């Protein structure tokens, strides 16, 4: 179109909205439409943007002088079809607009190409080869300010240190340096010396802020394809070509390449942008969401940029400078304690100001090398990075890390929330530092003041979950949603408080957990079912931890969090421990799954343009289709990944649902960039992970794998002997039936073993007649493996290292030699006599599932005998399937179980006689 067209009429359905005020235009109401090109049409069609009559004239107030405006009723198509009273309304609006604008007659001008507005900080030298540069437009009315607020010093040194060109050079130096310490030194030297070598004269705050776009985040509401679409319109480049180039994985490179090729908008030859100007444009971009406004701002900055400038601006928008450097490496260059201080407050300006103040004070005191250490403190109403926990694999690990004892807190299956209170103002932040949805937390403003009557300023670390008002028990994770919460009529949202970081102006983060807990106890009063203390127990002994774990798992709770009583609150650090069932399995599934590669996705960053994430699945013999199980990107080295680019026979479908082949059963959200040409010729990979899980986005009966990784590429297998859907279901069911953790995970296994060299065991035991009777097993005992509840192995070969027992026994479907070498597949009816030695340990406790409490006298010795004599030891919470519960001789306990409750002397009698004796005379009454 040569110039703007406008059309007037009446709303037909009442469904369209005004482009300016966003309000619905009622059915039958008069409206004015601006006819614009349709960006979604391949043949250059038009579309209409509708406005209320008054609203469209408001847009003309801020429009460029070259913009075609409505200055006469004849400028409106279909004006003659209006009612007479509506014609009068339009004429009056035009008259009022002309009076306000100071124009007396319409002055139509030829419309220039869109989005060529002039920046208020446009360069004095313009590119005369660009058609757009001949504009006679008036100064832009954009909100981007020309003033430099952060650094008003206009000296040449300050100007150079604040230049965007120098910023790009600094980023390039950091990216080229491989050592993280080297990266920190580059930042430190630049801040200390500046560009001239006499000191940095620019804005330190802006420099650090732009070096950390992924940490100090602004939201721009622009993904890769939206950026490409907007810049294709700015450059006049084909959108389809830019989208195809985007598959290379770097949107910034794509935009730079097409910027250099553009004949509509020519890049500047020399960079003259400053950090302040770039930051100002990014700030403005973060405040708009409409495409036309975003395009206007991006055009402004593009007019001012070289191609490399624009590439870096796009990377700032994407929060990734590609310099392979985290917040710690940058902030350590500012001050050795800056990172810790920022982790606590998340207030970069405050940290930078305090660092600069400390350095200034040191120089004034004549001691420039001795700088005061930054204090670690939180800022009210600004989220603190939460302290985290690492997985605890065994009780041994817990006792070793916390030798002075620890608080074992119940790990609730809820949502972690950080509560900030300042007077009557409340803010709630999630674990990812985002505001929590109001429906989950809004009501707490009525109960927190009751729980903390003297707390004016507070920062609390807590967990939010639903609790049953009748029982006080917490409800499952995910029930906080609006619709799910409505299903629980007898439940309320409760805040379980477990830490206090700040109270009434006092910073508690540098106090120990014991002291913070004391402050919390002194200042908080529980509000029933609304604000409660998190349940915890002070643990100093292994036995007590085992008992608490048994209780937690029996009640179906998620697990425990273990915290050293003398620990400080260290934001972002994983210095706590978390105990969950799957962690006690050494973090891996009971068995692997052999899955078929079904598709692949493009990677990002360094793996951009490569197939680096793969879609794996199984065959469903019932539907004759392939089902998806998991996406995986871990376990393949760079060399293997490079080889797979050519080895895999893939068909590109670019996540197009309409191009998904008929053999693949897949949800829309996981459609890949590529699918295999023939799944029956696709490779088979052995996949392991933390556990089998449920994920409804996958079609293999919703079964998926948590934290999957490639264990091995199975060249010896094809699709016929890979895991299929029925087998996957069986693996999933077995994984949920099998707990196999005991009470203390690895510790129980280790206590049951002898020395690694296989020396024989000689143990002194007590029976009912003798206090010291020497009993030696007839055969030297190697380290016994931890047995499953349904274990049927009864023979152990002493001359051969015991292998883990395969859960499928001699009916195992796996044919891999490595699997057979790793696991024992003997049938329970066929003892292993391969070495010619028929001697074996007596199977005294075969079929017995025994609960042996740790407080039993000579607990460790008894455990070893029970396991060696083919018995199973169960945790307390599995007493419903136990056959025997052991008590001390003088102990009497009322146990609600079908198991026989017997005195410990029964065990000694069985061991001495090497046969299962009657329990009649040993029953506890």
Question: Any bridge partners for residue 203, and if so which?
Answer: none
633-657 b/e with 16+ CB inside 10 Å = b?
A: eebbeeeebeebeeebebeebebee
- Kindly tell me the sign of the dihedral angle through the C-alpha atoms of 895, 897, 901, 904: negative
Counting every residue, how long is the chain? 925
User: In whole angstroms, what is the distance from residue 885 CA to residue 902 CA?
Assistant: 6
Closest C-alpha among 742, 10, 842, 836 to residue 394 = 742
Per-residue CA distances from 37 to 41, 242, 499 (Å): 8, 20, 58
Rounded to the nearest 10 degrees, how much is the dihedral formed by the CA atoms of 326, 329, 333, 339? 80
From first CA to last CA, the distance across the chain in angstroms is: 98
- Write out the catalytic residue numbers: 411
Token code pair at residue 2: 């040569």
DSSP string for residues in 392-424: P-BHHHHHHH-TT-EEEEEE-SSEEEEEEEETT
Q: Phi and psi dihedrals of 448, rounded to 5?
A: -65, -40
CB contact at 8 A, 413 and 598 = no
Q: Phi and psi dihedrals of 726, rounded to 5?
A: -60, -40
Q: Which residue has the tokens 């240190």?
A: 161
290 contacts: CB under 8 Å, gap ≥ 6: none
Count of beta carbons in the 10 Å neighbourhood of residue 848: 20
Count of beta carbons in the 10 Å neighbourhood of residue 467: 23
User: In whole angstroms, what is the distance from residue 51 CA to residue 811 CA?
Assistant: 73
Closest C-alpha among 878, 866, 619, 620 to residue 765 = 866
User: In whole angstroms, what is the distance from residue 579 CA to residue 741 CA?
Assistant: 11
Q: Which residue has the tokens 């009622």?
A: 26
Token code pair at residue 254: 């794509």
Alpha helices in 648-757 (DSSP H): 725-737, 746-751
In this structure, the strands spanning 406-411 and 46-51 are unpaired
CB contact at 8 A, 76 and 84 = no
Rounded to the nearest 10 degrees, how much is the dihedral formed by the CA atoms of 254, 259, 263, 268? -170
Q: CA angle 373-375-379, nearest 5°?
A: 150
Over its C-alpha atoms, the chain yields an Rg (Å, rounded) of 36
Q: For 465-473, which contacts have Cβ atoms below 8 Å and span 24 or more sequence positions?
A: 465/412, 465/413, 465/414, 465/415, 465/493, 465/494, 465/496, 466/414, 466/491, 466/492, 466/493, 466/494, 467/491, 467/492, 467/494, 467/529, 469/529, 472/529
CB contact at 8 A, 855 and 869 = no
User: In whole angstroms, what is the distance from residue 168 CA to residue 190 CA?
Assistant: 13
DSSP 8-state class, residue 317: H
User: In whole angstroms, what is the distance from residue 623 CA to residue 665 CA?
Assistant: 9
User: In whole angstroms, what is the distance from residue 582 CA to residue 619 CA?
Assistant: 27
Token code pair at residue 533: 């203390």
User: In whole angstroms, what is the distance from residue 49 CA to residue 800 CA?
Assistant: 81
Which helix (DSSP H) or strand (DSSP E) does residue 611 occupy?
strand 611-620
């Amino acid at each position: 179109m040569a110039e703007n067209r406008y059309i007037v009429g009446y709303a037909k359905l009442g469904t369209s909205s005004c482009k300016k005020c966003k309000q619905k235009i009622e059915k039958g109401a008069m409206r004015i439409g601006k006819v614009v090109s349709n960006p979604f049409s391949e043949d250059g069609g038009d579309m209409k943007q509708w406005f209320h009559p008054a609203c469209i004239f408001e847009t003309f107030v801020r429009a460029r002088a070259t913009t075609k405006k409505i200055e006469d009723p004849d400028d409106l198509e279909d004006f003659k079809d209006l009612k007479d009273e509506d014609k009068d309304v339009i004429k009056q609006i035009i008259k009022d607009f002309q009076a306000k604008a100071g124009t007396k007659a319409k002055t139509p001008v030829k419309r220039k190409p869109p989005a060529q507005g002039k920046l208020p900080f446009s360069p004095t030298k313009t590119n005369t080869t660009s058609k757009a540069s001949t504009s006679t437009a008036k100064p832009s009315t954009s909100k981007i300010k020309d003033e430099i607020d952060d650094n008003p010093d206009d000296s040449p040194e300050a100007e150079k240190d604040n230049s965007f060109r120098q910023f790009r050079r600094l980023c390039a130096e950091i990216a080229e340096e491989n050592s993280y310490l080297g990266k920190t030194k580059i930042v430190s030297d630049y801040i200390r010396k500046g560009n001239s070598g006499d000191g940095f004269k620019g804005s330190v705050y802006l420099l650090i802020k732009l070096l950390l776009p992924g940490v100090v985040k602004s939201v721009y509401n622009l993904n890769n394809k939206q950026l490409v679409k907007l810049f294709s319109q700015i450059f006049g480049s084909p959108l389809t070509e830019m989208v195809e180039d985007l598959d290379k994985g770097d949107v910034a490179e794509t935009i730079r390449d097409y910027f250099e090729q553009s004949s509509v908008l020519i890049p500047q030859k020399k960079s003259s942008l400053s950090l302040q100007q770039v930051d100002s444009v990014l700030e403005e971009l973060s405040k708009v969401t409409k495409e036309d406004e975003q395009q206007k701002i991006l055009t402004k900055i593009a007019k001012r940029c070289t191609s490399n400038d624009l590439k870096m601006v796009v990377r700032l928008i994407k929060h990734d400078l590609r310099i392979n450097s985290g917040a710690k490496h940058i902030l350590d260059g500012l001050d050795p304690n800056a990172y810790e201080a920022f982790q606590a407050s998340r207030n970069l300006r405050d940290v930078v100001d305090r660092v600069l103040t400390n350095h200034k004070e040191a120089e004034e005191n004549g001691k420039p090398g001795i700088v005061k250490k930054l204090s670690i403190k939180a800022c009210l109403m600004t989220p603190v990075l939460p302290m985290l926990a690492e997985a605890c694999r065994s009780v041994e690990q817990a006792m070793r890390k916390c030798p002075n004892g620890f608080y074992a807190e119940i790990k609730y299956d809820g949502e972690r929330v950080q509560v900030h209170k300042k007077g009557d103002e409340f803010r709630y932040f999630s674990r990812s530092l985002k505001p929590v949805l109001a429906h989950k937390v809004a009501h707490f403003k009525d109960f927190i003041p009751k729980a903390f009557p003297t707390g004016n300023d507070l920062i609390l670390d807590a967990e939010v979950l639903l609790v049953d008002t009748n029982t006080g028990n917490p409800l499952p994770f995910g029930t906080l949603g609006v619709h799910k919460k409505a299903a629980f009529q007898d439940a309320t949202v409760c805040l379980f408080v477990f830490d206090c970081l700040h109270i009434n102006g006092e910073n508690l983060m540098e106090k120990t957990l014991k002291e913070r807990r004391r402050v919390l106890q002194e200042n908080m009063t529980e509000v029933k079912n609304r604000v409660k203390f998190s349940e915890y127990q002070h643990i100093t002994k292994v036995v007590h931890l085992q008992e608490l774990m048994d209780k937690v798992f029996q009640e179906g709770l998620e697990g425990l969090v273990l915290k050293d009583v003398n620990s400080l609150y260290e934001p972002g650090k994983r210095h706590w421990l978390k105990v969950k069932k799957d962690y006690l399995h050494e973090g891996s599934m009971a068995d692997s799954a052999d899955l078929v590669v079904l598709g692949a996705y493009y990677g990002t960053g360094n793996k951009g343009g490569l197939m680096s994430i793969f879609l794996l699945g199984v065959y469903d013999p019932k539907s004759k289709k392939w089902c998806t199980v998991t996406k995986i990107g871990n376990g393949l080295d760079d060399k293997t990944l490079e080889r797979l680019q050519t080895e895999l026979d893939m068909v590109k479908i670019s996540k197009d649902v309409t191009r998904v082949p008929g053999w693949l059963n897949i949800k829309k959200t996981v459609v890949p960039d590529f699918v295999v040409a023939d799944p029956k010729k696709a490779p088979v990979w052995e996949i392991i992970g933390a556990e089998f899980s449920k994920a409804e986005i996958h079609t293999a009966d919703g079964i998926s794998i948590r934290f999957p990784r490639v264990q091995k590429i199975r060249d010896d297998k094809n699709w016929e002997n890979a895991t299929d859907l029925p087998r996957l279901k069986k693996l999933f069911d077995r994984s949920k039936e099998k707990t196999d953790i005991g009470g203390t995970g690895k510790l129980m296994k280790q206590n049951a073993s002898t020395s690694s060299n296989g020396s024989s065991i000689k143990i002194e035991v007590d029976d009912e007649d003798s206090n010291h009777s020497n009993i030696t097993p007839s055969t030297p005992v190697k380290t016994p493996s931890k047995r499953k509840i349904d274990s049927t192995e009864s023979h152990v070969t002493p001359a051969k290292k015991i292998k883990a027992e395969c859960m499928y026994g001699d009916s195992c479907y796996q044919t891999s030699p490595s699997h057979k070498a790793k696991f024992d597949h003997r049938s329970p009816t066929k003892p292993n006599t391969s070495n010619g030695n028929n001697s074996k340990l007596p199977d005294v406790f075969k079929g017995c599932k025994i609960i042996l409490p740790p407080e039993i006298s000579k607990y460790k010795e008894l455990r070893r005998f029970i396991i060696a004599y083919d018995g199973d030891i169960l945790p307390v919470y599995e007493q419903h399937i136990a056959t025997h519960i052991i008590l001390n001789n003088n102990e009497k306990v009322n146990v609600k179980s079908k198991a026989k409750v017997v005195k410990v002397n029964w065990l000694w009698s069985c061991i001495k006689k090497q046969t299962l004796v009657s329990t009649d005379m040993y029953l506890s009454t």
